[in-house]
Amino acid sequence: MPVKRRIKARKQPLQQRSRETVAVILEAAARVLEARGLEGFNTNAVAERGGISVGSVYQYFPNKDALTLALIARFEDALLAKVRDAVAASEGKSLTASLNLIIRAQLEAHAERAGLNRILETEEDRLRPASSGTSAAGELKDLVAALLARHRREIARPIDDDAIEDLIVISRAMVDHALQQDLSQAAASRRVLRAMEGYLFGPRRDL
Amino acid sequence: MPVKRRIKARKQPLQQRSRETVAVILEAAARVLEARGLEGFNTNAVAERGGISVGSVYQYFPNKDALTLALIARFEDALLAKVRDAVAASEGKSLTASLNLIIRAQLEAHAERAGLNRILETEEDRLRPASSGTSAAGELKDLVAALLARHRREIARPIDDDAIEDLIVISRAMVDHALQQDLSQAAASRRVLRAMEGYLFGPRRDL
DNA sequence: CCATAATGTGAGTAATTGCTCATATTCCAC
DNA sequence: GTGGAATATGAGCAATTACTCACATTATGG
């Protein structure tokens, strides 16, 4: 390892050619992670897989972790896009149907390239400097809040910021778990829905 | 790294002296992880911190991962012991009170040496060969099942194995999250309880 | 076309580190 | 005691790997 760790990339991709190189690097990195796991994930392997030279990797990524972080951001963007669509599509639908849509969105986002995404989630813990809220995390909260706001009157309890956070934590954990266990999407949906609705409506105090 | 990876330790600790050495190694490993994180966690550092030689580490642990796994097992044992106590202490208490006790148990287990435990949980993902149920995981399920069985009649829904699993996943994720956010134990308890009770009782279908 | 900027190359370096093994020390059974 | 087993030592090996840099190639603007 080098003595001093570079913080910024040497170059920003300006021309079309270099933008393509960046894409190639990212995809190669993803494939290496899928094929060889974290253990076999090294920058030389990425370069080889991408059919380019290591030097090129370091033109656009200051260090290996930056490359991993770029993959994480890419995954988060894809997830967010799906959730955004789900929230849009749920307009006019019932609360249960709406929740089901965002649950499906999350399941789908994780399911494609499941192996890769699982590794990326693991790395996220290591790489994110202690609870730094990403903008992605912020938007996810906003999206869920917007969806719930549409059903305010059906929900007995107040939906504050903490509740939104909890719902996200719960669904994320359950989605991860479902993927690990290779649950069918139907089964996974049902169980996550149960948890979310339960959290929203709380125990029956009327028994 | 060596070409061939040793699977079993060279020696089992037989005498009192070596049993103490093993304890010293484990504690030194824990302290290195706490002080320098995963990045600074190497066997030479562990040996130095423990005031022993690297060779001794490899007498009782076949490789570095085995050492980490031993720390994980140690944490799981401590957690399990606390939960066991909580389940025992909850006898005769209400369901809510009982749930609160096991939630507190989990929070406490994580809270002491929080930094260390957080790292260990991260490593667990990497080290456990794809969803191999530990005996610890099994016993935790049994304990929760036993507790819930005492309140069968209060719970409308059937409590099958999947439900227990979900409850554990939910509480674990929320406890982790609470620790990360430095929530007070009271606030954390309240939120986890809400999630668990919600899951158990489900949404009010009677609205 | 030409000067200059952008991009690409890959052999090599420097550092890290998991782990071994020949040897020394301590313990215990008899 | 004494011999053998258990335990401890730590210098150093072997392998890995993130990253650099001097140089080549390609694109672009004037």
Report yes or no on B4 lying in a domain: no
Give the Cα separation of B71 and B199 in Å (integer). Answer: 32
Radius of gyration of chain A from Cα atoms? 20
Using a CB–CB cut-off of 8 Å, the residues of A that contact B are 38, 122, 125-126, 130-131, 154, 156, 162, 165-166, 169-170, 172-174, 177, 180-181, 191, 194-195, 197-204, 206-207
For CA atoms A72, B114, B87, A167, the dihedral sign is negative
Looking at residue A185, its pLDDT comes to 97
**Single-letter amino acid code for the residue at B16:** Q
Radius of gyration of chain B from Cα atoms? 20
Looking at residue B5, its pLDDT comes to 78
Q: Is the CB of B43 under 7 A from strand D?
A: no
Using a CB–CB cut-off of 8 Å, the residues of B that contact A are 38, 122, 125-126, 130-131, 154, 156, 162, 165-166, 169-170, 172-174, 177, 180-181, 191, 194-195, 197-204, 206-207
Report yes or no on B67 lying in a domain: no
Report yes or no on B207 lying in a domain: no
Looking at residue A207, its pLDDT comes to 45
CATH number of the CATH domain containing A111: 1.10.357
B173 → chain A, closest CA residue: A173
Give the Cα separation of A189 and A100 in Å (integer). Answer: 7
Report yes or no on A207 lying in a domain: no
Q: Is the CB of B54 under 7 A from strand D?
A: yes
Percentage above 70 pLDDT, chain A: 95
Residue A57 and residue A106 in one domain: no
* B197 closest CB neighbour out of A130, A166, A202: A202
* A202 closest CB neighbour out of B126, B173, B198: B198
* A170 contact residues in B (CB cutoff 8 A): 170, 173-174, 195
Give the Cα separation of A171 and A81 in Å (integer). Answer: 17
**Do residues B29 and B82 lie in contact, with contact meaning Cβ atoms separated by under 8 Å?**
no
Residue B194 and residue B103 in one domain: yes
- Hey, what are B84's tokens? 């066991």
Report yes or no on B158 lying in a domain: yes
Q: What tens digit of pLDDT does each residue of A62-71 get?
A: 999 999 999 9
Whether residues B131 and A181 touch (CB distance < 8 A) is answered with: yes
**Which residue approaches C7 most closely, CA to C1'?**
A18
**Which residue approaches D16 most closely, CA to C1'?**
B1
What lies within 8 Å, CB to CB, of A90 at 6+ separation is A97, A98, A101, A102, A147
Residue A77 and residue A151 in one domain: yes
Report yes or no on B5 lying in a domain: no
Residue B180 and residue B101 in one domain: yes
Residue B78 and residue B98 in one domain: yes
Residue B174 and residue B138 in one domain: yes
Domain tally, chain A = 2
A120 lies in which domain range?
Answer: 69-201
Residue A78 and residue A30 in one domain: no
Which protein residues have their Cβ less than 7 angstroms from some atom of strand C? A 1-3, 11-15, 17-18, 20-21, 44, 52-56, 58-59; B 1-2, 4-6, 15-17, 39-44, 54-55, 58, 63-65
Q: Is the CB of B52 under 7 A from strand D?
A: yes
Residue B126 and residue B173 in one domain: yes
Per-residue pLDDT tens, chain B, 207 aa: give them.
Answer: 444 578 888 889 999 999 999 999 999 999 999 999 999 999 999 999 999 999 999 999 999 999 999 999 999 999 999 999 999 999 999 999 999 999 999 999 999 999 999 999 999 999 987 667 788 999 999 999 999 999 999 997 889 999 999 999 999 999 999 999 999 999 999 999 999 999 998 775 554
Looking at residue B124, its pLDDT comes to 95
Tally the C-alpha atoms within 13 A of residue B155's C-alpha that lie toward its C-beta: 21
Residue B106 and residue B185 in one domain: yes
Residue A122 and residue A50 in one domain: no
Residue B170 and residue B125 in one domain: yes
Residue B84 and residue B150 in one domain: yes
CA distances from A56 to A6, A36, A45, A71, A123 (A): 15, 21, 13, 17, 23
Q: Among B6, B38, B61, where does a domain finish?
A: B61
Report yes or no on B99 lying in a domain: yes
pLDDT tops 80 at residue A28? yes
pLDDT tops 80 at residue A147? yes
A130 pLDDT tier (thresholds 50, 70, 90): low
Q: Is the CB of B42 under 7 A from strand D?
A: no
What does the pLDDT average to over A127-136?
80
Looking at residue B114, its pLDDT comes to 96
